[in-house]
Amino acid sequence: MVPNPTFTRKYRSWRRRLIRVSSWGCGTIIVLLLVLVGTLFLILNPIPGGYPIITNPIEPPAPAHYAAFDLDGFESPYLGHTGSWDGKGGAMFGGSKRSDLDKEVAMGLRWTFMPVHWRAMEPDGSVNPSQQVPDAWRELDGFVIEAQRRKLNILMQVVIGGNAGGPPDWAGRREPGKSAPADMAAAAAFAGKLAARYAPRGVLATDRGWAARFGVRAWELDNEPESYRTCWKDQAGDYAEFATLATEQIKSADGKAMILLPAVAGGGNANSWVQAALGANPTDGSPTYRHRGRAFSIGPIAGGVSFHTYEGLETAFSRTDRTIENDFGDLRDLFEKSESRVSRLTYVRKREYWHTEGNFDFIGLFSAPRRAAWQIQFFTRAFAAGIRKVCVMDPSAPEQAAVKAYVATLPWPFPMRPADAEVKVLHGAAAFRHLDGKDPDAGQVWVIWAIAGTGEAKVELPVIRGNLILINVDGAKSDVSASGGHVAINLQGDAKMAPPILVVDRQSSQ
């Protein structure tokens, strides 16, 4: 039968119209959802009403503490976490990570981040990249090469669930829709292959002729395994098993490797899951885990404790103040309470707490200037609590300027101490002080800001030198003179997040 041309034209026109209307409809729904989320976020007023002071902070490390890792820049406490990822070395939709790495270098960072998805790297079965390098592994090679060119250490995250969607089909699953693979040994072997290839003196470093002081030596195992998308919900024991076996494989390839666990989300919702992952209870897991009857714990194997914090979102959705101090305190309590609960799993108290993901609100509804102010406040409070490394995630241009100024001024921010009692506050303000050394004449840097919602503030600081440098959030510098060993600083107020000032009292500021 010959098609009717008129009918065909009308059908095609109708189909195009339907597609256009559908596209507009989907786009409208997405926009409405974003507006709804944004409205709820603003209505809930997610600005924490206060920030607790940690009364028993972890003592700061000595600069030489990280020398044992034998990598240039490993000691830097600032972690870059910029852009998007495809799970095999590139950005989403096939883009390059080079521009993201360049942003991190421009801020003065020495660390970057790369999640590696097992499903993306071994989609059809276990591979041996030492014999034949698949395309996915070549892409990941390219990222590591670009990081090495920029002298950026890499925090590499081995991802089974989350954005990776679970283990590859050929590895099976202990439970449908969850992360624990049926072939747990294959998952651990995958982590070992990554370490063998990318560790200092590994396959790639040897092929490229790199000096021994570059390679991946920090590893995070999975991403928010307690809750994010495909996850290890009700599989805390299985996760501990994976972490234990993967750590053995990574350490076999590189005995100096730092293993970071458990990469959980903040807000307090992960606490019961973390407790189960620490508890070494043979019933805290999948049916397969329970049937085997062998208990695992993440406590003895964790070289460091990693976690994520979004202070704005957590405060909004928990209906109470949630800050990095709260998230850190929760995890620290859980790890310290389990240190000797089971005699055969006794472990040394954890000192390395790393904040490896997070910014204020993720969706960026907080204005860029306020986010820049928050980033400096966040750094300062986190370091004062004893957190060893803090993330810089997807910063806007004002945030990048703030981070660059802070890192340049405080490349080694330890110790950072609350100092409200050491200053004369003429109107509501927060004050922290970093000392360059123990000598009475050593340099110091004050970090001060007005308390949100209280208007402008004024602070009188004790100082050593007559001439000081003030550094604003945007990196702009100005000189100020002290009188009689004190200097008075006026601070700009803000209803939500007041901009801090760094007051540099060093010999070089004379």
* Summary count for the chain: helices (H), strands (E): 13, 17
Q: For residue 415, is the peptide bond before it cis, meaning its omega torsion is within 30 degrees of 0?
A: yes
User: How does DSSP assign 276-297, residue by residue?
Assistant: HHHHT-TTSS-HHHHHH-----
What per-residue confidence (pLDDT) applies to 40? 54
Cα separation values, 51 from 152, 225, 311, 381, 384, Å: 32, 27, 10, 8, 12
Contact 374/46 with Cβ under 8 angstroms? no
Please give the chain's pLDDT, 510 residues, in tens.
444 544 444 444 444 444 343 434 444 554 555 455 555 555 455 688 888 888 899 999 987 899 999 999 999 999 999 999 999 999 998 899 999 999 999 999 999 999 999 999 999 999 999 889 999 999 999 999 999 999 999 999 999 999 999 999 999 999 999 999 999 999 999 999 999 999 999 999 999 999 878 999 999 999 999 999 999 999 999 999 999 999 999 999 999 999 999 999 999 999 999 999 999 899 999 999 999 999 999 999 999 999 999 999 999 888 789 999 999 999 999 999 999 877 677 899 999 999 999 999 888 888 999 999 999 999 999 999 999 999 999 999 999 999 999 999 999 999 999 999 999 987 789 999 999 998 888 999 999 999 999 999 999 999 999 999 999 999 999 999 999 999 999 999 999 999 999 999 998 755
Cα 199 to Cα 217: distance, rounded to the nearest angstrom: 6
Please list the residue range(s) of the chain that carry CATH number 2.60.40.1180: 418-509
Contact 400/407 with Cβ under 8 angstroms? no
pTM of the model: 0.91
Please list the residue range(s) of the chain that carry CATH number 3.20.20: 69-358
Cα separation values, 185 from 49, 124, 283, 296, Å: 47, 16, 20, 15
What per-residue confidence (pLDDT) applies to 50? 81
Nearest to 55 by CA among 329, 380, 339, 281: 329
CATH class, 69-358 region: alpha beta
CATH class, 418-509 region: mainly beta
State both tokens at 19.
Answer: 């597609």
What per-residue confidence (pLDDT) applies to 26? 43
| Backbone φ, ψ for residue 62 (5° rounding) | -80, 150
Which contiguous run of DSSP H or E holds residue 115?
Answer: strand 111-117
Contact 317/267 with Cβ under 8 angstroms? yes
